[in-house]
């Protein structure tokens, strides 16, 4: 039980049922009250009941109001409550209730009430939402579909919670942090290390707590019966951000020392250098002294070969590589010290980034920020110009009253003139701020790390061994397998798209009947093959996409005829997540062939 004082500022998500015994004059307060229980961490479905006196004129007003709110909520979502208070600025709900009680003709009153509420909650709320929106247009079906597709593609290679957990445990320990394991794989941090708190303060975040009663890495672990709510540590959480930031400040130089990696899947005969580049775009806003505010940061990879050819390496190009053993490292160290490797780091990769990556990055950020700033500027000018005009008009009215000997006890013309001048100063200051935000400049790309990538075939040659042969995984067999799956997809009425050669995790992309993206990994083997290999990135993609991922197995006969079988969600509950040291896994061909079925 609570008075209206509990309508804001409290977290009551331990409850999930609410009853409004006395409805407020301001309808926006209804949503504010409900927000006390409908909060992050709520595990139950929240329900709200509004008690209204039946067969009364007051009840008729509230009943009609709640009906209109429900209609507009379905049409406009939660945005209707953002402008509800302003929608009732011309005619308050209190006035409608008083009219309902005092009206002599109930029929006339009902018609007037319906007209006012329909206009206020219907047309007026739509107008206010449109006016206050800083988006150039409402998102259409095509834009929403595009956003959904990009989210689905990003999901395919998202970091698994177990990977984040392993990284955080190791990094937190390196920063002298202490974790205490609690129930259901949740942890307690009684004291956040000083280094992390200093990093958070220096970078103006101010979001890091001194301790955490519970943290977890899986959404399902946020709540536990009878236990405190846990913070979900994932990309974007202050604790993980501070850990990464402090770790890079203390040990970031190790990245620039570079490393040597071995690519077991590459069929190339020569090594390549993988350069890690960071590129930032700043606006005209000054932060931390003379530094300018970073509005966009892009991390990218450029692969460069000995002949100077440079190309974008795609996402996570290192994911399926492995670290060399000690004896292998001795063989490869002289290759990594070659002059062309240093030249690649100094000029070739940077020149490629300046010519190709930077212009695309700048164009994308300019289109987004210029549009947002221009619409914000238009809204600011409109709002403050109206305020200035309102105060100027009031100055004249107050001045006339003062000359007529009727001064206003609450405010005089001088104070009103001061308010108008303050609004004009705010307008000028805001226009200057937005002009600085619109002034975008790219900074020069910088090398933050590099890796010398050696094909396993080259390593075998250097060691005096016979290069590994691939009688099963031949280029010809792979090509026949991909073509067979493309044909199978088209026969199912889908439009498959073959991914670039350096795409990690899957070979084809198609769209299901419900419009969702399917990822397909193709494995082709000659008849009689006993096993097949799956890379770390392919396992991660399959686990992330689950039933939206297909493992397509293709058996290629001696006469080049093919037999295709599909296995949806191939690894969930069948294969464990790959460890940090695992780059490839061999699986039994016959086991998975028997699990699969004809394409559908």
Identify the H or E element spanning 237: none
Residues 167-174 have a mean pLDDT of: 91
Confidence of residue 528 (pLDDT cuts 50, 70, 90): confident
Measure the CA angle with vertex 282, ends 279 and 283; round to 5°: 160
Encode pLDDT of 82-117 as tens digits.
444 445 544 455 565 566 556 556 665 566 566 655
Higher-confidence residue of 509 and 514: namely 509
User: pLDDT tens for residues 229-264?
Assistant: 999 998 889 999 999 999 988 888 888 788 999 998
Write out pLDDT tens, residues 155-167. Answer: 776 767 878 888 8
Dihedral sign (CA 58, 61, 64, 65): negative
What interhelical angle do 106-117 and 93-102 show, nearest 10?
170
Residue 277 CA to residue 301 CA, distance in Å, equals 6
| C-alpha dihedral, 414 to 417 to 423 to 425, nearest 10° | -90
pTM greater than 0.85: no
pLDDT single digits (tens) 377-390: 988 898 889 889 98
Helices (H), 260-357: 326-336, 339-343, 349-352
The mean-pLDDT minimum among 168-182, 466-480, 559-573 falls in 466-480
- Report the C-alpha gap between 56 and 520 in whole angstroms: 63
pLDDT at residue 144 tops 50: yes
Q: Which residues contact 337 (CB under 8 A, 6 or more apart)?
A: none
Q: Which of 137-141, 507-511, 522-526 has the lowest mean pLDDT?
A: 137-141
């Amino acid at each position: 039980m609570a008075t209206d004082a509990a309508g804001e500022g409290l977290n009551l998500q331990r409850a999930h049922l609410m009853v409004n015994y006395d409805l407020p004059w301001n309808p926006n307060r209804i949503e504010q009250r409900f927000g006390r229980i409908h909060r992050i961490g709520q595990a139950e479905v929240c329900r709200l009941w509004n008690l209204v006196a039946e067969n009364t004129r007051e009840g008729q007003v509230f009943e009609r109001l709640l009906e209109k709110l429900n209609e507009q909520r379905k049409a406009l979502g939660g945005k209707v409550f953002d402008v509800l208070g302003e929608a009732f600025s011309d005619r308050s709900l209190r006035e409608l209730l008083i009219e309902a009680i005092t009206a002599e003709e109930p029929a006339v009153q009902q018609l007037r009430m319906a007209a006012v509420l329909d206009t206020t909650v219907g047309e007026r709320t739509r107008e206010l939402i449109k006016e206050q929106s800083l988006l150039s247009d409402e998102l259409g079906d095509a834009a929403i579909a595009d956003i959904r597709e990009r989210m689905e593609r990003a999901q395919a290679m998202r970091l698994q919670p177990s990977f984040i957990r392993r990284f955080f445990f190791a990094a937190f320990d390196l920063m002298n942090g202490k974790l205490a394991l609690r129930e259901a794989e949740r942890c307690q941090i009684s004291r956040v290390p000083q280094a992390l708190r200093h990093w958070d303060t220096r970078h103006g975040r101010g979001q890091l707590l001194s301790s955490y009663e519970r943290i977890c890495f899986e959404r399902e672990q946020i709540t536990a019966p009878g236990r405190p709510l846990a913070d979900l540590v994932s990309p974007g959480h202050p604790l993980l951000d501070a850990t990464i930031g402090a770790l890079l400040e203390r040990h970031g130089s190790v990245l620039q020392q570079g490393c040597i990696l071995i690519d077991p899947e590459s069929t190339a005969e020569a090594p390549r250098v993988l350069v890690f580049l960071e590129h930032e775009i700043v606006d005209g806003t000054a932060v931390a002294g003379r530094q300018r505010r970073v509005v966009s940061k892009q991390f990218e990879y450029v692969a460069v070969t000995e002949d100077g050819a440079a190309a974008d390496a795609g996402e996570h190009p290192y994911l399926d590589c492995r670290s060399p053993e000690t004896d292998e490292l001795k063989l490869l160290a002289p290759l990594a010290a070659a002059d062309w490797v240093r030249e690649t780091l100094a000029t070739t990769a940077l020149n490629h980034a300046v010519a190709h990556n930077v212009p695309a990055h700048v164009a994308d950020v300019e289109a987004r920020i210029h549009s947002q700033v221009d619409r914000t500027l238009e809204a600011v000018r409109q709002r403050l110009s109206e305020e200035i005009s309102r105060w100027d008009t009031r100055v004249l009215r107050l001045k006339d009253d003062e000359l007529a000997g009727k001064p206003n006890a609450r405010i005089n013309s001088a104070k009103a003139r001061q308010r108008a001048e303050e609004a004009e100063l705010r307008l000028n200051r805001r226009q200057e701020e937005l002009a600085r935000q619109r002034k975008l400049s790219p900074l020069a790309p910088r090398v933050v790390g590099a890796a010398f990538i050696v094909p396993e075939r080259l390593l075998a040659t250097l060691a005096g061994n016979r290069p590994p042969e691939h009688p099963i995984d031949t280029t010809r067999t792979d090509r026949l397998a991909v073509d067979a799956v493309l044909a199978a997809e088209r026969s199912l009425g889908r439009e498959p798209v073959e991914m670039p050669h350096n795409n990690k995790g899957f070979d084809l992309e198609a769209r299901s009947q419900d419009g969702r993206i399917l990822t397909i990994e193709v494995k082709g083997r000659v008849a009689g093959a006993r096993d097949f290999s799956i890379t770390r990135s392919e396992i991660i993609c399959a686990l992330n996409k689950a039933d939206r991922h297909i493992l397509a197995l293709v058996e290629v006969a001696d006469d080049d005829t093919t037999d295709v079988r599909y296995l949806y969600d191939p690894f969930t509950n069948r294969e464990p997540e790959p460890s940090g040291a695992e780059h490839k896994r061999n699986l039994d061909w016959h086991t998975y062939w028997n699990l699969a079925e004809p394409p559908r």
